[in-house]
A and B are shown apart, each in its own frame.
Chain A
């Protein structure tokens, strides 16, 4: 038994951390947030040079084949840096779906280019202002052509291909849609660094991923696996938000003393720490379950997801509270973490859906 990451994996994490603090400081995030560019292309390219997009993609398909444990730590660093790159959409979702359900030919066609960052993938699910459900997918595929609208597609403005949840005559399915020629409109969202788009598919030629009619269970599997990686992004961001709060509380004086000496604030930050610690430990276990395809992967993933969402939201929210009025200014960075935390919380479906999935996955739960 060993419940920690190996020193080799920690070394990869340190390299990524150094690269991001150098190449993706929050000023780069702000440039994207304020519309100067859609994403930090130079960061994306630098990550590709390090092989990060292909971390868990098998060598046979152009990846590094290093598995999910290092990828989890890469995710943690991306979350801490708020790097404005389409990594989560392309790597945890699009690449993962194609790797799981693509034919050999599809994997040979798509994965090497996703692995080296030449192509950006995304995952197109939502269609309106409610959460998607199994019986309400109106984007439809017929005779290899896709029609319909996906409302909030993260990184939809920069993606080259999308894995799309669609209905068909045989039930739901996942399809790969190349996006050249697809009409895309920017959509304003809480986290402006998402390059979010509305995608209008009009007789778009698509490829089916795996068996038709299995779309919903494929979708659920992809979500559970991605949930582990998103959890690491969440704890990365939560941890940095907590650090910001602690640093500020040590420096800022009021009533003649550092505000961090007041118990009301200390206890708030202690609670942030507790939530983060629980989330980290659950994420560690889920990382192991993902890497080993453990029988309890779905339970571990849902558990990690619930804890990480709680920690991420709490730390981002109370970081603002510790900063007081300054925390509510555009100039301070607190809102960047708050915005990202709220995106990450709903990226794979909101907390209530994951609570439900957790109970569903518990042994002995009534059907």
Chain B
């Protein structure tokens, strides 16, 4: 057991650090530090353009997606080197949020199922941020029950014709490509009738409408498909094997989302360090100290669990469903922290004006965004099911749709 760098790791860290010091967009450091949860602040500059600029700078010097093979735009680096890079990239890593879904979820799926030509064609531009990808999975009738999705794909010669609707698609409005899961056979059991594709988001018949969220932002979209044509060469995996392909994406989703996840601890610590209460300074209040200790222990636990997962990765082991704990712990914790901060501040805690509120109203933004963290990428309840069934080996829940053909499954319309 060794939590310090080996000689090679120290040398790698030094190289990474020097390159970042020489090339990072230092003018963005200040606004990025003030980024609220769920938003990236880049001052007066366009966040997507700035994110693309930093990603391209990294890619040109071989510092983008460093764990990927060089042929696909990466550096062939080890998992531990990836950890070191993330630590050194620090505040500038906030600029990479735009690319997380494409690089963290779509790319592993492409690597597993696309043709060699396709990988060489699409992956380098995905790594360099020149092209952004999104993930078209959730539907109005298929969220937690993803395999209940209804978007149809019908074969027509060497093309497929897509009709239906996706929802909660992050970044669809600025994406160039997307991976799309569809139903190709409604007459077999629901998990067996699915097929995965990728498509150009500018294809004819694709319509994107932003969703106004409960917190007022619009990071997600509804995407409508009307007779959209996709060549069969853009199918990922076999016909009817879409569920297996989707699991590849989802496993990586939990790694990508659960990895270096925010917990809200630094924000609450900064607040209570200076906040006065009726009883004296907040940091001296026993109730505050007790909560703070619990949250610190949880955030340290997540960090150390991530470190253990990386050790397992570096030994060639595949991180398993136990990594589902990251988002489960962080989501609830963030909401608890934001609520606690509100209570401590009283009415002042309601202020969302970044010019008036502490730390640009980061905790207020967290209060309003954290409910979504507990839903997106697997609800708290689905994550607990995954831990119970796939880690602890408990029996699966009784299901009313078991063994039924998809088109025979009861719905709220058929009841």
A residues lining the B interface (CB < 8 Å): 1-6, 9, 69, 242, 246, 249-250, 257-258, 260-263, 266-267, 269-271, 273-274, 277-279, 281-282, 284-285, 287-288, 291, 302-303, 306-307, 310, 352, 354-356, 358-359, 362, 364-366
Given A284-B1, A285-B3, verify A1-B273 contact (CB < 8 Å).
Answer: no
How many angstroms between the C-alpha atoms of A281 and B308 in the bound complex? 7
Cα(A303)–Cα(B314), bound, Å = 26
Return the 8 tightest CB-CB contacts between A and B, nearest first: A278-B301, A355-B293, A266-B388, A281-B304, A270-B384, A270-B387, A260-B394, A3-B311
| Chain B residues whose CB sits within 8 angstroms of the CB of A354 once the complex forms | 293
Q: Is the CB of A1 within 8 A of B388?
A: no
Contact of A269 among B308, B325, B392 (CB under 8 A): B392
List 16 interface pairs A-B (beta carbons < 8 Å), by A numbering: A1-B9, A2-B2, A3-B3, A3-B304, A4-B312, A266-B392, A270-B387, A273-B392, A281-B307, A281-B308, A282-B304, A284-B1, A355-B290, A355-B292, A362-B269, A364-B273
**Given A2-B2, A269-B388, A310-B297, do A249 and B394 touch, yes or no (CB 8 Å)?**
yes
Q: Are B1 and A359 in contact (CB under 8 A)?
A: no
Check B290 against A3 for contact (C-beta < 8 Å): no
Using known A-B contacts A261-B395, A291-B1, A306-B297, determine if residue A271 contacts B292 with beta carbons closer than 8 Å. no
> Which chain B residue has the least Cβ–Cβ distance from A364?
B273
Asked if B385 is an interface residue, CB under 8 A from chain A, the answer is yes
B292, B296, B304, B308 — most chain A CB neighbours (10 Å):
B304
Q: Closest residue of chain B to A6, judged by CB?
A: B1
Instruction: State whether A246 and B393 are in contact (beta carbons under 8 Å apart), knowing that A263-B381, A356-B289 are contacts in the complex.
Output: yes
Mark the stretch among B215-223, B280-288, B340-348 that contacts chain A. B280-288
With a cutoff of 8 Å between Cβ atoms, the chain B residues found around residue A260 in the complex are 388, 394-395
Selected from A1, A355, A356, the residue in CB contact (under 8 A) with B2 is A1
Q: What's the Cα separation between A233 and B99 when bound, in Å? A: 43
Report the minimal beta-carbon distance from B397 to chain A, rounded to whole angstroms.
6
Cα–Cα, bound, A80→B235 (Å): 50
Q: How far is the CB of A279 from chain B (nearest CB, A)?
A: 7
Q: How far is the CB of A184 from chain B (nearest CB, A)?
A: 36
CB-based contact B293/A358 at 8 Å: yes
CB distance from B124 to the nearest CB of A (A): 29
How far, in whole Å, are A263 and B2 apart by their CA atoms in the complex?
A: 39
Apart from A3-B304, A266-B394, A266-B397, what 5 extra A-B contacts exist at CB < 8 Å? A274-B387, A281-B307, A352-B286, A355-B289, A366-B283
B389 interfacial contact with A, CB 8 Å: yes
Per-residue CB contact flags for chain B residues 387-406 toward chain A (1 = under 8 Å, else 0) read 11101111111100000000
Chain A neighbourhood of B50, CB < 8 A: none
- Asked if residues B311 and A2 are in contact (CB atoms below 8 Å), the reply is yes
Which residues on the B side are within 8 Å of A306 (C-beta)?
293-294, 297
Identify the closest chain A residue to B298 (Cβ).
A278
Closest to A300 in B: B300
| CA–CA, A6 and B273, complex, Å | 40
Whether B301 contacts A356 by the Cβ 8 Å rule is: no
Output the least CB separation between B312 and chain A (Å): 8
Knowing A261-B394, A273-B387, the reply to whether A288 touches B1 (Cβ < 8 A) is yes
Also in contact, A281 and B301, with CB within 8 A (given A3-B311, A5-B1): yes
- How many angstroms between the C-alpha atoms of A328 and B64 in the bound complex? 57
B366 on the interface (CB 8 Å rule)? no
Residue among B297, B298, B397 with max Cβ neighbours from chain A (10 Å): B297
Cβ contact within 8 Å between A358 and B392: no
Tell me, in angstroms, the Cα distance from A281 to B273 when the chains sit together: 27
Residue of B with least CB distance to A311: B301
Say yes or no: B384 contacts A266, CB within 8 Å.
yes
B392 to A281, Cβ gap below 8 A?
A: no
Residues from chain B with Cβ under 8 Å of A271 in the complex = 384
Q: With contacts A246-B393, A274-B325, A278-B325 known, is A4 near B311, CB below 8 A?
A: yes
